[in-house]
Chains A and B, each alone.
Chain A
Amino acid sequence: MSDLREAPLRILVVEDEVLIALELECLLEDLGHVSVGVAGSSTEAIALGHRTAPDVALVDIHLIDGPTGVEVARQLSRDPRTTVVFMTANAKRIPPDFAGALGVIAKPYSERVVASALDYVAQCRAGRTPSTEGLDGFSLAPSAQAALADRVQ
């Protein structure tokens, strides 16, 4: 965990399994973040995203209306205020460009993985180059890896 405690992140949860979504909201709260809402379908997710302009959107690939999470990520990541992170057991469905997302948290995730991934996101948003050490269970998109390599050099 980072010593630099960031301001709480406003997080949109895009997840069709209500139990996972509910528990994830509790976990986010425990970690000191704020949930701006839960969306189970792509239309809901995009609408809620536009309305709330969250700091982070945690996006599952499979939603109520099918494998539409990729399109949700593409739409939400157009807003420069929002960092999209996939959260899925189906990482093979993610396109090579990651649809604008920063990375993917593999399901089933542990609380630690979610905490360290969000910590990483918070530091990126603050313009720092966080360490990728201990980021198992969270994989960066190829573009984010390239950006990281550029900054480290």
Chain B
Amino acid sequence: MVVTDPRGGDNPIVWVNGAFLALTGYSRDELYGRNCRLLQGPLTDAAVLQTMRETLAAGQPFEGEVFNYRKDGTPFLNGMTINPVRDAAGKVLFFFSAQADMTDKYRLETAMRHANDALERQVGQRTADLQSALEQKTALLHEVDHRVKNNLQVISSLMLLKARRTPAGEAREALQSMADRIGALSTAHRMLYPEGDVTCFDFKEFTDDLIADLAAGLDGDRTRIETEIEALALSAAMAAPLALLIHELATNALRHAFPEERRGRIVVEAKRCEAGMRLVIEDDGVGLKAAPPNPAGFGHTLVEMVVRQLRGTLDWSDAGPGTRIVITIPLSAAGAS
């Protein structure tokens, strides 16, 4: 603590306590009669001093921090509170100043700031590393996606080339229908990962594409395929089995429901239901009695296997006229959105 006397010319120190002597390293003899500026040095902030002078001249109390110097020349951060002491008439008699050594606080703050800067640099570096790792993985995903699609095209081309060179008959038909199944899988792959979403696909757009491929080969006046699909985003893992399933059942209906130039239509319908999704493939053709499904046939086995894989149920019934196939597929919370 320090008391100065503004009435005594250069506002000299007239009293200090022991703590002040301990803080500064001076003796009383060296301080009394001197102005406080003997504590100042190169680190002392002139702007703070200016504010202090103006505040005190106005008779106001002042609080602030400046660097001061001990007798041995070492600096310390001096946190000061200076109050004017007035007489009964309000005239300033003394300034009473309390000091606290803020050096440790200052060091701590500086250390914290440095630590923060270092952490931010580290976080920045990590983020850049992660970003670059992510970019590499994205590039890899695109590359793999590209290869899968290209290979599907090669497989499909291979089958079709062989089919073209095989005499008309059972073998050729088998090759052709395999190529068509691969085509359905290809549609599934084409619909995956369109704009970065790797988890889901648009089931409506997917089914419309799939059915459009089937309908392209039809005489539109005789047989039609229609779709009534609710907007559903399904899990990407369901794309391939659903493609095979819908392709197989719709193809089967086209092949067996309308013999001898019979006219008709097939409707593929999908809706949400309590259990998940209800998929209906219905035709107005000759019906089950006229064309019973062949339980040993490959198509039939394929359908049953795929429904089992999707943990669904399958029901064939007479639609009078025609055949109705109802498939219920559970959708997990993650399976649809």
Interfacial residues, chain A to chain B (CB-CB below 8 A): 1, 17, 19-20, 22-24, 26-27, 62, 89-90, 92, 106-113, 115-116, 134, 136-137
Contacts and interface: CB of A to CB of B under 8 A. Distances in A.
A107 B209 contact: no
Nearest to A22: B161
A111 B216 contact: yes
A110 B157 contact: no
B42 to A, nearest CB: 60
B150 A26 contact: no
Nearest to B205: A136
Given A115-B216, A136-B208, A136-B212, A108 B160 contact: no
Interface of B: 142, 145-146, 149-150, 152-154, 156-158, 160-161, 164, 183, 186-187, 189-190, 205, 208-209, 212-213, 216-217
Given A27-B160, A90-B142, A107-B153, 5 more contacts: A17-B153, A19-B158, A26-B161, A26-B164, A137-B209
Given A89-B149, A137-B209, A110 B187 contact: yes
Contact of B157 (A1, A23, A62, A90): A23
B212 A17 contact: no
Chain A to chain B: the 4 pairs with minimum beta-carbon distance, closest first: A108-B186, A89-B149, A112-B216, A23-B157
Contacts, number: 74
A112 B212 contact: yes
Contacts of B149: 89, 107-108
A92 B189 CA distance: 16
Contacts of B205: 136
13 contacts: A20-B150, A22-B157, A26-B160, A62-B150, A89-B145, A89-B149, A108-B152, A108-B153, A108-B156, A112-B213, A112-B217, A115-B216, A136-B209
B46 to A, nearest CB: 59
A108 B164 CA distance: 19
Contacts of B190: 106-108, 137
B150 A17 contact: yes
A140 to B, nearest CB: 16
